[in-house]
Structures are given as structure tokens and as C-alpha cells.
């Protein structure tokens, strides 16, 4: 049975329908609500991608089969209706593409699409960067490389057919097979232009021969499809087979390698959150549901020629090894990060449990230091910093970092501890929380909402339509303040939206991310791989959509700077959002 998730492109946020809950008709699926693509808590790049990929759906222009892949030319003088901001972003993005820093390019285009969701140039470059980024991740995954060695052409085509069948049955919108096939061809074309793919599959093949094949690919495919349209799953499958056979005859290329590019392209065509999952990536998803993963225990973002440490998990091997938030990693195992892409550097930090990696880190204004860190199983805390921050008014605070399987239990323990410490009002900090399991977000909201709808889901199939409701038993009636920002997404928005619509508390901060779709995780029958597929949209108790809208705060407060990770919670200029939340919590307490 498939599992369902609500996810985004960059960070993993899941909504789990557990077997012991009252299941909606689509029982057995695992549901995610997250703005990430199921990336490990140690993120290789600031994207979705994790997998952060933008909420707007990319609607690319379809290219006829007879035309090679081309991106639109950038009008540096400023195209009609296009702002200088976009032109500047495209110039920076093309520089990153030229240096093959796909993770950074993807993040840049994501940022641009959030402000300019309909810009064709940004959409095209975003799609191409995602293709190269995903390709790099796949080929860095030993499980994917193993599948290439073991799959036959028929196996690969059956895998592609299964993916197309699930898209046809479960995707939130009716599939356009022409677009899906076009993206499969684009993904293959991008692969033939990617050194990672070429070095793995085409060693010894002259570049001129690859370029000639690229020029002739679409015309040759058009000869097999005179109508130049693809109207069914079978036609899409047949065209992938023809492309694989042509590449095998003319380049000596492995046929399964070609078909798997069509698999990846098919999911890329749908939206930023749907994706093909290798066996390794699928296992990462399941590990994150449990709240653990193998790694160093850091969160990263790519910077110019280095990897910056955003957060170090308490008790992790990275913390014990002397890594601190704000450090920049400038070398991995003796190789300088400036001499490789940030994606490659991040990949070098990953590995099997028990192995070690040598990192050279530098803090602002200090000398570099070389550290040797062991990769271990990391337990990810979903509750951080639970404490009483104002004893006079009894104001309690806790940061909810994600919505994973253990979150509801962890929150219960934190609430009872705070209650015993004198809690009279509560601030819940959702800033930077990318989302998580659907039912976890419902369970958390149910602790504070006494009755009524918490969230509803709606999809193309009636089995995706379900209303999640609150229950009176066990409701905490403590006054609430919820802090949000532009990185509060998916499951965070379900919680904040429920609190807002039921008038249960005050929302403080800035508008949330605006990711309002549900993704299902579907294990596939071949290669131990899986599919993350958008199956529904979700809506607030009052029927408001979240996609590209988000949750508007009751009190709008801009964040100028965040407190240092693990630092003291002190109201003031360093954290005006928390300062405003404290004032509101005191006001609510005084009114009781």
C-alpha cells in the first residue's frame, strides 16, 4: 500500500497516518506536509531543494519533439514586463549554472519564484537546475548506481510504467502526457550535458559524437511519432524505449540509464514537491519519520565556495567534535570546497554509520581548525528550549522544530513539565519549521483546539477528501501565542491556521511560506525505490487555501535577527518577534 506525505522541496516534513488512528478512506498511505523534498536533516544544499523548492507550480512551455532543448535567451537590457531584479537574478543564476553549483542556483531561483511566480525565465532555469541537482544526488547514491547495474531495459520500462500509472491514479491534477514526456526528454538531454552522467555512462565516447546525438535526438523521435503528441501512458513508455534504443545503438549508452532519466523527468514535470526516490532516499524518508538519521548532526547552507553551518544538533558528533553554528567548512577530507561544487562537498560529508570524515572549519575572525568527526545515528529533537521565560506572568516558551513521529509525545512531556513549573500562558515558536507529518500536525493542534475542523484535504480522487477534527478530551486551555515566519511551512501552517481560525491564540511574526499540498510516498515494485507524489491540497478550518497564500499573522513583526542557536531567550532588539510575543502573552495572562 502507498504511504502519504505532505512535503516540500528542501526539508522533510511528513504527515503520518498511523495504523492506530481513525484512518480516512486512503488508509495505508503516509502523508507529508512539508516544504522540503524529504532531504536528510543534514542538508546538502539550501534547496528543496531541500529538496527548498518553490510553492508555485512550474508550467513549462512544451517543445515539439523535433526541436532540441533550449532555454530562452536572457534580455540583459530588461525584457518587457520583467524587472531589473529578475535580470540580475538570472545573471547570477547563469554564473552558478556555469560553475555547476546546482544547489545554490536552485535556491536562487526558488527565491525568485516566490516573488515572481509566473516568470518563464525563472521557471525554465529552475527546472533545468533541479534536473542537474537531482541527477547529482542520484549518482552519488550507491543504491541508485546498484540499480543501474541490475535493471534490464524491460525492468526500467516497467518501473517507468508504474510511475506513470501512479501519476494517473493519484496525482492531484489530471496528467498531461505530452508535458510529462517532454520533461523526460529534457531530463535526458540535461544528463547528456552533465559531466557526472557522462563520466559514469559514456567514458571514451567523443564529445562531438554526444553533441551530434543531442542535435538529432528530437528529430529521430519525431519520425517515430508523426503527430508529435503523446496522449497516453503507453505512448510515453514507447517513446522512452525508442530513446533508450537509439542511445544504445549510437552511443553505446546503457538503456536503463536512459529510461531512469525519463522517470525522473516525469516527476519533475509535475510540481516542485513530486519526485522519484532512490532506495537510499526512500530509506532516509522513513528514518526521518522516526526522527533519526545517520550523519554528523548539522544543518548546512551553501555559500560562496564553502558550506556554512546553520545549526548543530545538541549531543551530536558534530557538537562533540567542536563544530559550531556559524562555522564555514572550507575543506573535506583534504579537498578544498572552493575547488568543487557545494553539492559535491556536501555529498562528501555523508556516509555510512561508523565511518569518519575530516573537515576543516573556520569561524569569523579565527584561524581554521581541522576536525575528525564520526558519522553516527542522530536523534532529532522536535522540541527545543522549553522553559519559563517570565516567572512573574508565568509565560512559557518552546520551539517546535518539526512535526515528526515523536513530536506529539515529546510535546506532552514538555507541556506537563512547564505546567509543573508554573505555566500560565505559552509561546510556541514555529519559525523555521518546514513541516512534517500530517497527522502529527493534527495531533498537536488537537491539544489546543477543543472542537471543529483542524484541516481538510481535497484531491482529484474522492478518497483524498477528508476532514480532520478536534476532540474535547485532553485539551489544554492555556492562552497561546504562535510565532511564525516565511520559513514556517506545511504542517506548521496547518497548526497556525487552526489556531487562527478558531480564535484560539494570537499569531505573531510574518506571513508563512504558503505550501498547501499533500504528498504521498508510494513504494515501487522495482529497485526498492519510491515516488513522492502530490495527491491533494489542504485547507484551513474556514476553508482558506494555504498554497502561495500562507498564514497572515495577527501581529505583523519583522525579524531583524534571530537569537544564536541555543542562546538565551532575551526580549529586545535581537529578536523583536519574540519580544512582541512576550508582550502579547503577558497581556493575555493579565486578562485571565
pLDDT grade for 262, boundaries at 50, 70 and 90: very high
The dihedral built from the CA positions of residue 198, 203, 208 and 212, taken in this order, carries a sign that is negative
Asked if 74 and 90 touch (Cβ cutoff 8 Å), the reply is: yes
Neighbours of 65 (CB within 10 A): 24
**pLDDT mean over 225-246:** 91
pLDDT digits (tens, 9 = 90+) for 67-112: 434 333 333 334 555 688 999 999 999 999 998 889 889 989 988 8
Instruction: Supply the mean pLDDT for the chain.
Output: 83
β-bridge partners, 373: 357
Question: What torsion, rounded to 10 degrees, do the Cα atoms 293, 296, 298, 300 define?
Answer: -100
pLDDT grade for 315, boundaries at 50, 70 and 90: confident
Q: What is the pLDDT of residue 81?
A: 57
515 is catalytic: yes
Q: What is the pLDDT of residue 43?
A: 30
With a cut of 80, say whether residue 566 has pLDDT above it.
Answer: no
Structural domains of the chain, with CATH: 58-270 (no CATH), 292-379 (2.30.42.10), 383-591 (3.90.226.10)
With a cut of 60, say whether residue 250 has pLDDT above it.
Answer: yes
Q: What is the pLDDT of residue 340?
A: 78
Whole-number Å distance between alpha carbons of 373 and 350: 11
pLDDT grade for 224, boundaries at 50, 70 and 90: confident
Whole-number Å distance between alpha carbons of 476 and 357: 46
Q: What angle do CA 578, 398, 439 make, to 5 degrees?
A: 120
CB-based contacts of 327: which residues, under 8 Å, 6+ apart? 308, 309, 361, 362, 363
Q: Which residue has the cell 550507491?
A: 142
Helix (H) or strand (E) holding 279: helix 279-290
pLDDT grade for 302, boundaries at 50, 70 and 90: confident
With a cut of 70, say whether residue 317 has pLDDT above it.
Answer: yes
Q: What is the pLDDT of residue 30?
A: 55
Q: What is the pLDDT of residue 34?
A: 64
pLDDT digits (tens, 9 = 90+) for 185-196: 999 999 999 999
One DSSP character per residue, 40-106 reads -SS-SSSSS------SSPP-PPPPPTTS---PPPP-TT--TT--HHHHHHHHHHHHHHHTT-HHHHH
With a cut of 70, say whether residue 223 has pLDDT above it.
Answer: yes
With a cut of 60, say whether residue 10 has pLDDT above it.
Answer: no
Higher pLDDT among residues 2 and 515, named by residue: 515
Q: Residue 514 phi/psi, 5° resolution? A: 90, 45
**pLDDT mean over 550-565:** 76
On the CB side of 50, CA atoms within 13 Å amount to 28
Which is the catalytic residue, given 254, 490, 492, 540? 490
pLDDT digits (tens, 9 = 90+) for 53-72: 223 333 333 344 444 343 33
Residues 428-457 as b/e (b if ≥16 CB within 10 A, e otherwise) read bbbbbbbbbbbbbbbbbbbebbeeebbbbb
pLDDT digits (tens, 9 = 90+) for 116-162: 888 899 999 999 999 999 999 999 899 999 999 999 999 999 999 99
* DSSP type of residue 564: P
Q: What is the pLDDT of residue 468?
A: 96
Q: What is the largest CA-CA distance in the chain?
A: 79
Task: Return the percent helix, strand and coil in the chain, to nearest 5.
Answer: 40, 20, 40
Asked if 12 and 528 touch (Cβ cutoff 8 Å), the reply is: no
301 is catalytic: no
Q: What is the pLDDT of residue 37?
A: 41
Whole-number Å distance between alpha carbons of 121 and 90: 8
pLDDT grade for 46, boundaries at 50, 70 and 90: very low
Asked if 226 and 64 touch (Cβ cutoff 8 Å), the reply is: no
Q: What is the pLDDT of residue 561?
A: 53
Whole-number Å distance between alpha carbons of 52 and 43: 10
One DSSP character per residue, 299-352 reads EEEEETTEEEEEEE-TTSHHHHTT--TT-EEEEETTEEGGGS-HHHHHHHH---
Whole-number Å distance between alpha carbons of 540 and 457: 9
With a cut of 70, say whether residue 20 has pLDDT above it.
Answer: no
490 is catalytic: yes
Among 283-287, 394-398, 525-529, the range scoring the smallest mean pLDDT is: 283-287
With a cut of 80, say whether residue 564 has pLDDT above it.
Answer: no
pLDDT grade for 265, boundaries at 50, 70 and 90: very high
CB-based contacts of 356: which residues, under 8 Å, 6+ apart? 372, 373, 374, 375
Asked if 345 and 332 touch (Cβ cutoff 8 Å), the reply is: yes
Asked if 460 and 173 touch (Cβ cutoff 8 Å), the reply is: yes
Whole-number Å distance between alpha carbons of 313 and 258: 40
Q: What is the pLDDT of residue 552?
A: 96
pLDDT grade for 526, boundaries at 50, 70 and 90: very high
Q: What's this model's pTM, rounded to 2 decimal places? A: 0.80
Q: What is the pLDDT of residue 332?
A: 92
Q: What is the pLDDT of residue 347?
A: 77
End-to-end CA distance of the chain, in Å?
49
Residues 465-493 as b/e (b if ≥16 CB within 10 A, e otherwise) read ebebebeeeeebebbbbbbbbbbbbbbbb
R_g over Cα of the chain: 24
Which is the catalytic residue, given 141, 343, 501, 575? 501
pLDDT digits (tens, 9 = 90+) for 489-509: 999 999 999 999 999 999 999
Among 11-15, 352-356, 568-572, the range scoring the smallest mean pLDDT is: 11-15
Amino acid at each position: 500500500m502507498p504511504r502519504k506525505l505532505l512535503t516540500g522541496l528542501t526539508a522533510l516534513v511528513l504527515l503520518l497516518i498511523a495504523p492506530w488512528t481513525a484512518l480516512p478512506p486512503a488508509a495505508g498511505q503516509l502523508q507529508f506536509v512539508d516544504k522540503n523534498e524529504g532531504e536528510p536533516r543534514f542538508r546538502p544544499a539550501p534547496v528543496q531543494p531541500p529538496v527548498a523548492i518553490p510553492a508555485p507550480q512550474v508550467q513549462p512551455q512544451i517543445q515539439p519533439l523535433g526541436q532540441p532543448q533550449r532555454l530562452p535567451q536572457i534580455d540583459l537590457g530588461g525584457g518587457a514586463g520583467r524587472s531589473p531584479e529578475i535580470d540580475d537574478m538570472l545573471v547570477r543564476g547563469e554564473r552558478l549554472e556555469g560553475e555547476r553549483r546546482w544547489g545554490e542556483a536552485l535556491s536562487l531561483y526558488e527565491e525568485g519564484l516566490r516573488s515572481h511566480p509566473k516568470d518563464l525565465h525563472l521557471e525554465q532555469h529552475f527546472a533545468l537546475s533541479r534536473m542537474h541537482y537531482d541527477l547529482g544526488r542520484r549518482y552519488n547514491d550507491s543504491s541508485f548506481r546498484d540499480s543501474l547495474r541490475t535493471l534490464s531495459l524491460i525492468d526500467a520500462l516497467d518501473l517507468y510504467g508504474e510511475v506513470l500509472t501512479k501519476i494517473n491514479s493519484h496525482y492531484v491534477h489530471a496528467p498531461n502526457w505530452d508535458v510529462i514526456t517532454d520533461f523526460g526528454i529534457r531530463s535526458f538531454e540535461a544528463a547528456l550535458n552533465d559531466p557526472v552522467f557522462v563520466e559514469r555512462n559514456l567514458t571514451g565516447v567523443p564529445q562531438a559524437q554526444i553533441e551530434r546525438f543531442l542535435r538529432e535526438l528530437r528529430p529521430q523521435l519525431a519520425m517515430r511519432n508523426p503527430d508529435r503528441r503523446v496522449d497516453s501512458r503507453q505512448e510515453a513508455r514507447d517513446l522512452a524505449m525508442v530513446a533508450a534504443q537509439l542511445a544504445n545503438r549510437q552511443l553505446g549508452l546503457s538503456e536503463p540509464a536512459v529510461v531512469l532519466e525519463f522517470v525522473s523527468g516525469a516527476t519533475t514535470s509535475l510540481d516542485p514537491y513530486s519526485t522519484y526516490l532512490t532506495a537510499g532516499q526512500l530509506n532516509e524518508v522513513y528514518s526521518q519519520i522516526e526522527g533519526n538519521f545517520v550523519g554528523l548532526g548539522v544543518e548546512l547552507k551553501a555559500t560562496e565556495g564553502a558550506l556554512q553551518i546553520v545549526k548543530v544538533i545538541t549531543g551530536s558528533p558534530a557538537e562533540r567534535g567542536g563544530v559550531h553554528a556559524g562555522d564555514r567548512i572550507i575543506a573535506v577530507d583534504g579537498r578544498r570546497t572552493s575547488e568543487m561544487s557545494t553539492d559535491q562537498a556536501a555529498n562528501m560529508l555523508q556516509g555510512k554509520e561508523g565511518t569518519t570524515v575530516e573537515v576543516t572549519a573556520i569561524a569569523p575572525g579565527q584561524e581554521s581548525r581541522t576536525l575528525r568527526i564520526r558519522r553516527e545515528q542522530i536523534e532529532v529533537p522536535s522540541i527545543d528550549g522549553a522553559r519559563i521565560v517570565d516567572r512573574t506572568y508565568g509565560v512559557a516558551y518552546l520551539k517546535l522544530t518539526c512535526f515528526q513521529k515523536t513530536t506529539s509525545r515529546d510535546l506532552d512531556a514538555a507541556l506537563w513539565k512547564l505546567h509543573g513549573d508554573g505555566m500560565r500562558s505559552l509561546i510556541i515558536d514555529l519559525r523555521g519549521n518546514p513541516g512534517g507529518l500530517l497527522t502529527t500536525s493534527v495531533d498537536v493542534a488537537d491539544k489546543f483546539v477543543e472542537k471543529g475542523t483542524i484541516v481538510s484535504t481535497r484531491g482529484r480522487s474522492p478518497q483524498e477528501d477528508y476532514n480532520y477534527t478536534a476532540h474535547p478530551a485532553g485539551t489544554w486551555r492555556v492562552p497561546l501565542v504562535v510565532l511564525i515566519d516565511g520559513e514556517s511551512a506545511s504542517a506548521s501552517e496547518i497548526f497556525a491556521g487552526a489556531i487562527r481560525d478558531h480564535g484560539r491564540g494570537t499569531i505573531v511574526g510574518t506571513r508563512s511560506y504558503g505550501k498547501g499540498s499533500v504528498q504521498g510516498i508510494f513504494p515501487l515494485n522495482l529497485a526498492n525505490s519510491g515516488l513522492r507524489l502530490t495527491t491533494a491540497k489542504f485547507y484551513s478550518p474556514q476553508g482558506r487555501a494555504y498554497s502561495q497564500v500562507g498564514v497572515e499573522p495577527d501581529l505583523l513583526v519583522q525579524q531583524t535577527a534571530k537569537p544564536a542557536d541555543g542562546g538565551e531567550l532575551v526580549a529586545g532588539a535581537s529578536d523583536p518577534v519574540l519580544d512582541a510575543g512576550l508582550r502579547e502573552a503577558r497581556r493575555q495572562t493579565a486578562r485571565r
